[in-house]
Structure 1
Amino acid sequence: MLAYWYFMFVYFDTDLAHAFSSISRDANFIDHTSELGWKEDQRIRPIVVDPGLYLARRTQIFRATEKRPMPNAFKVFTGSQWVILSRPFLEYCIFAWDNLPRTLLMYVNNVALAQEVYYHTVICNSPEFKNTTINADLRYMVWDNPPKMEPLFLGKSNYDQMVQSGAAFARQFAKNDPVLDMVDSQILKRSGNRAAPGAWCTARKSWFVDPCSQWDDVNVIRPGKQVEKFAESLKNLVDDSNLESNQCV
Structure 2
Amino acid sequence: MKRLKSYYMNLRHPQPQTMERKWLFPLAIGSIVSLFLLFLSTLTSPDGSPFLPFYRSITASNSVFVESKLHVIPTPSTLPPPPEPPRLAYLISGSNGDGKMLRRTLLALYHPRNRYVVHLDLESSPQERSDLYRFVSAHPVFARFGNVKMITKANLVTYRGPTMVANTLHAAAILLREGPDWDWFINLSASDYPLVTQDDLLHTFSYLPRDLNFIDHTSNIGWKEYQRAKPIIVDPGLYMTKKADVFWVTQRRSVPTAFKLFTGI
What TM-score do you get using the length of structure 1 for normalisation? 0.26
Larger strand proportion of the pair? 2
Q: Tell which structure's C-alpha radius of gyration is larger.
A: 2
TM-score by length of 2: 0.24
Q: Which has the higher helix share?
A: 2
